[in-house]
A and B are shown apart, each in its own frame.
Chain A
Amino acid sequence: MNIGILGAGLIGRLTALQLSNDHQVTLFDADDEQATQSAAYLAAAMLAPIAESVETSHTLMQMGQRSQLLWPQLLAQLNAPVFFQQAGSLILAFEQDSGNLQDFARHLKGIEGEDFMRIDSTRLAELEPELAAQSKPFKHLLYLPHEGQLDNRQLLKALQSTLQARGVTWHAQTPAEIRDGQVWANGQLHAFDRIIDCRGLGGKTQIPSPSRLRGVRGEVLRLYAPEVILNRPVRLMHPRYPIYIAPKENHHFVVGATQIESEDSREPTVRSALELLSACFSVHKGFAEAEILQIASGLRPALGDNEPKIWVNNKVIQINGLFRHGYLLAPVMVEQCVALVNGKTDDLPQYPNLIETL
C-alpha cells in the first residue's frame, strides 16, 4: 500500500518503521528532521507503567507493561545503538512529603513485593551508593524494579537514519493536513491508500471533537553532571507533580517535568527552573557544579481523561492524546495502528475505549 504519515514525532517515526518493510511510506512533518519542536524531543523518556499507574487506569498500566516488552524488538531494527535501560526506578520523599509517598504507595496498581517494595537504607546503599552517602539520606523510599527508560534523542536520530536508509520519503518542515481524504501539502493534494495522522497538538483541529484535546505545559532540564552517579531514574515526590531525575549515558541527566494546565508556550519560568534545580540539588549535592545544557518548555497533547485514542475513519487513522506517556505507550499504539492498516487486529490484546471507529 501507499501510506502517508502526518507528523514525524515519536509515533510517526515508529509507525513508519513498522510499515516501511511492507509498504511505500511518505512522512510529512512541519518540524525539522531532529523533531526539535516535538514533545518527544523534550521528554525524559521514562518507561514507568507502575509509577504512572497512580493516576492512570489499569488498562493504561497494562499497555505500558506490554510496551516495555516491545521496545527491544523495535530498537533491534535500528541502524544505530540507543541507550535502553530496565534497572528499575526509585521513589524518594522528603520528611515533609512522606504523606504524599504513603498516598502514592496506596494508589499504585501493581503488586507489592513484586512490582514495588519499600526499602531501607541498607538496600539503598546497594542500589544507589551515592544517594545513601548524602549528608541527609532519604528515609522514605520505594523501589520499582521493573521500570525503565531510554535516550529519546538517540532514538529519534536512529529512527531518522534507519527510515532514510530504507528509502522512506521524508518531507521535513512541510506542514500538511487532511483534505478530502487526501494529504494537502506543498500547495497540492497527495493521494494515499491510507493516511495516518500523528501530529499531536498540530493536528488538533482535525481530530473528532477538537475541544477535547488540550496542551499541558511541561518544562525540562538537561544537565551534565560528572560528579553524580545514579544507576537508575529517581522520582522525587512533589506536592504538585512528579519530578524525575533520569540518568542517561556519560553523566547526562534529564530532569523534569513540570506539569501545568496551560497552553502557555513561553520559555521556562524562573519558578519552574528553581523547582527542578532545587530538586536535583536536594537529592545529590554533586549537582551543584553540573552544567546546565538546556532548559526548555513544551506542550503535551492530552485528552479529557489523559489517556490516548486511535480514531479510524475509513482510510484515515488518527492517533493522539499520549499526554506524558509517549514513550511508555508508543510501541502498543503503533502495534495497534499497524494491525489496523494490515487488517490483522484479531491476534492483538484488546484495550477498551482505545480504538474508536467513526
Chain B
Amino acid sequence: MSAAKPLNIYGTELNSRLLVGSALYPSPQVMQDSIKASGAQIVTLSLSRQNPQANGGASFWEMIQSLGLHLLPNTAGCHSSKEAVNMAKMSRELFQTDWVKLELVGDDYNLQPDPIELVKTTEILLNDGFKVLPYCTDDLVIARHLIELGCKVIMPWGSPIGTGKGLLNPYALQAIRDRFPEVTLIVDSGIGKPSHAIQALEMGVDAILLNTAIAHAHQPVKMAQAFAKAIEAGRLAYEAGPMSERSTASPSTPTLDQPFWHQVNVG
C-alpha cells in the first residue's frame, strides 16, 4: 500500500483530513478533550462578539492555542464585505496566521453564504496576502470564480450550518470534485453523523470541517473518535477505489445446489 496522501492547505501538508470548530461545547475542557480525540490538526475559531479590540476572548483563545494546532480564524457572523475584511485583519494580527475561513452570511436563518459578497471579498483578501478558505454553497460556477481568483481550497456546504442533514446534493459536490480535481475540496457544514463524512470522503472530497456534530453529541469525545475513524475509512475507500454498483445480484461463489438457469449473471 502506498503512503496516504497528505491534505494540502496552501502548501501546508497535514495528515488529518478533519478540521474542527471550537464553539458550542459544554465546557472548554470538553472542547479540548474532543479536539484531541478527533486527531484534527486544524481548529477554527471565531472572534465574533468577544470584543477582540480589547482582547476580550484571550482566556478562551489560550485554551484553544494550548492545543498546539494550526488555527483557522473565521469570519462567522459577518454580513458585509467590510466587516469580514476587518475581522480577517484582526484575526491575522491576533493569531499570527494568514489563513482565514471566509464566511459571509447571506440569510440569517439558515446562515446560507452570500455568493456575490463572497467572491468580491475573496478577491480583496487574496490581494491583501491572505490564504482564503471560502465557505460557499455547492454551486459549480461560484466554485470556478473562487478558483480563478486564486483559491487553492474551497469549502462548499453539505447542508446548512448546524442542521446535521449530511450531503443534500451529492451530485453538485461530485461535479465540483470532477471539474476541479486539483483544488483542495473541503465539505464545511451540515455533517451530522460519521456516515455523512464517509460518504463525502468516498466521493473524493479531501477533508471535512465540522463543529456541531461533535459539540452537540451526547458524548462529544466519543463522537470525535468516531469521526476520526470515519474520515480515515472514507479516505482509504476513495484511494482503494470502490467497486461499481450493479443492478442485479452477483454471487461471489457459485451456488452449486441451484440449477444453472436459476443463477444470474452466468457467463
Contact = CB atoms under 8 A, between A and B. Distances in A.
A261 B162 contact: no
B56 A306 contact: no
Contacts of A266: 51, 54
Given A305-B29, A306-B26, A306-B29, A261 B218 contact: no
Nearest to B109: A96
A239 interface: yes
Contacts of A103: 216
A235 interface: no
Interface in A284-333: 302, 304-307
A342 B53 CA distance: 47
A178 to B, nearest CB: 22
A9 to B, nearest CB: 20
B27 A261 contact: no
B49 interface: yes
Interface in B42-96: 49-51, 54, 56-60, 62-63
Contact of B28 (A107, A264, A304): A304
A106 B218 contact: yes
Contact of B50 (A106, A240, A264, A307): A264
Interface in B25-46: 26-30, 32
Given A106-B218, A271-B49, A262 B26 contact: no
Contacts of A239: 162
Contact of A55 (B26, B63, B162): B26
A211 B162 CA distance: 31
A89 B109 CA distance: 27
Contacts of A120: none
Contact of B56 (A106, A107, A217, A304): A217
B59 A107 contact: no
A105 B237 CA distance: 36
A263 B58 contact: yes
A49 interface: no
Nearest to B26: A55
A302 B63 CA distance: 13
B109 A56 contact: no
Nearest to A104: B216
B30 A305 contact: yes
A263 B56 contact: yes
A260 interface: yes
Interface of B is mostly: loop
Given A103-B216, A261-B50, A304 B29 contact: yes
Nearest to A269: B49
B62 A211 contact: yes
A262 B28 contact: no
A206 B109 CA distance: 44
B60 A55 contact: no
A260 B50 contact: yes
Contacts of B32: 304
Contact of B60 (A106, A107, A261): A261
Contacts of B28: 214, 261, 304-306
A215 interface: yes
Given A260-B50, A263-B58, A305 B216 contact: no
A86 B63 CA distance: 38
A305 B27 contact: yes
A304 B63 contact: yes
Given A96-B109, A106-B218, A239-B162, A262 B51 contact: yes
Given A214-B59, A214-B60, A264 B27 contact: no
A264 B56 contact: yes
A232 to B, nearest CB: 25
B57 A262 contact: yes
B26 A263 contact: no
Nearest to A217: B56
B60 A264 contact: no
Contacts of B59: 211, 214-215, 263
A285 B233 CA distance: 52
A282 B222 CA distance: 37
A325 to B, nearest CB: 12
A262 B56 contact: yes
Given A304-B27, A306-B29, A262 B162 contact: no
A116 to B, nearest CB: 16
Nearest to B62: A211
Given A96-B109, A107-B218, A239-B162, A262 B29 contact: no
Q: Which of A56, A107, A264 has most B Cβ within 10 Å?
A: A264
Contacts of B62: 211
Given A56-B26, A305-B29, A264 B109 contact: no
B55 to A, nearest CB: 8
A315 to B, nearest CB: 30
B49 A262 contact: yes
Contacts of A262: 49-51, 56-57, 60
Nearest to B218: A107
A54 to B, nearest CB: 8
A137 B170 CA distance: 38
Contacts of A264: 50-51, 54, 56-57
Closest 8 CB pairs of A and B: A264-B56, A214-B59, A264-B51, A262-B50, A262-B56, A306-B27, A55-B26, A305-B29
16 contacts: A56-B26, A99-B164, A214-B59, A261-B60, A262-B50, A263-B56, A263-B57, A264-B54, A264-B56, A269-B49, A302-B27, A304-B32, A305-B27, A305-B28, A306-B29, A307-B27
Given A56-B26, A107-B218, 7 more contacts: A55-B26, A96-B109, A214-B28, A215-B59, A240-B24, A262-B57, A263-B59
